Structure 1
Amino acid sequence: MFSKSRINEPGPKSAAPTEQPKAPEPAAPKPAFDYLSSAPKPKPGASVLSADLTITGNVKTSGDIQIEGVVEGDIRAHLLTVGESATIKGEIVADDIVVNGRVIGRVRGLKVRLTSTARVEGDIIHKTIAIESGAHFEGSVQRQEDPLSTGAPKLTVAPTTAAGN
């Protein structure tokens, strides 16, 4: 009913004509648009400013940054980590902020976290905040829905009516 195939079995060589080796085929031309290059690229790691680095001036990035040195100026980033040995004198603005070191100036972020080694002298404007036991903080804390907006906090004033006209 079933028979064993003899195609791949070694056996006596038949008198079949020998095949000539084929020449390698030329490589296909590259398309004008490389679809792989449009694929999302992996997110790079955070940029690190080392402990022996001092920057005088503003720092702005759309990525993540970790400060270990001294910055005298404002910083704007997506994720900002202030290292234990770092000192920042200026305003910091980021979606996520983790302070392990010293900040002298205003802090504005959607999520702000002061660890136990943090030393902050300035106001904090946040959407959510976490302050660990042992953190040192001098200033005011204010919650806003959009702390990253550059405008001043909006105050709601009830309209008044003048009587006796």
Structure 2
Amino acid sequence: MFKRKPAPLLTYLSNKTEFEGTLHAEGMLRVDGIIHGTVEVQGDLEISATGLIEGPEVRAKNIMVQGVLKARVHAEGKLTLSSTSRLEGDVVAGSLEIEPGAFYTGYIETRDSRTLPPSRDMPELYGTTEP
């Protein structure tokens, strides 16, 4: 009669865990430890203040960073950088939230650039034209 929704899958790497290689997770992933490699998550990814991911690429639906992330980042939804986060790498995300105190270096692109409207010609500013 009534069917229960299955609980979302959660993969957890504790702060005493170190992983090297390619990690695929179907549900959500929380990282308190260290990952060296590619990370692909079907759900959300959370990197705690003690967590570190260093690799060529990280993909997830939504990504919340409180620790360190050094990789190319693809967030289907929202990328959140907390005040304790450090992100080094290029980012493509649906939306972006950066708290004061967060450190970020790299290139950011929100949404798919092919879907952006064409840029308008900018009006000339007073005094910038040559006689």
The answer to whether TM tops 0.5 is yes
Between the two proteins, the alignment pairs up a number of residues equal to 113
Aligned to 2:65: 99
Q: Which of 68, 89, 98 is matched with 1:122 structurally?
A: 89
Write 1 or 2 for the structure with the bigger share of strand: 2
Unaligned runs of 5+ in 1: 1-34, 146-152, 157-165
C-alpha separation between the residues in 2 aligned to 1:123 and 1:41?
Answer: 36
Report the equivalent of 2:101. 134
Identity level (%): 28
Residues 92-134 of structure 1: CA deviation (Å, up to 9, x unaligned): 1111100000011111102100000110010111111100000
State the structure with more CA Rg. Answer: 1
| Bigger relative contact order (CA 8 A; separation at least 6) | 2
Is 1:70 the equivalent of 2:68? no
Unaligned runs of 5+ in 2: 117-131
TM-score scaled by length of structure 1: 0.63
Residue in 1 that maps onto 2:129: none
The RMSD of aligned alpha carbons is: 2.1
Q: 5 Å matches for 1:1-165? A: 39-44=3-8, 46-77=10-41, 78-90=43-55, 91-109=57-75, 110-145=77-112
**What TM-score results when the alignment is normalised by the length of structure 2?**
0.78
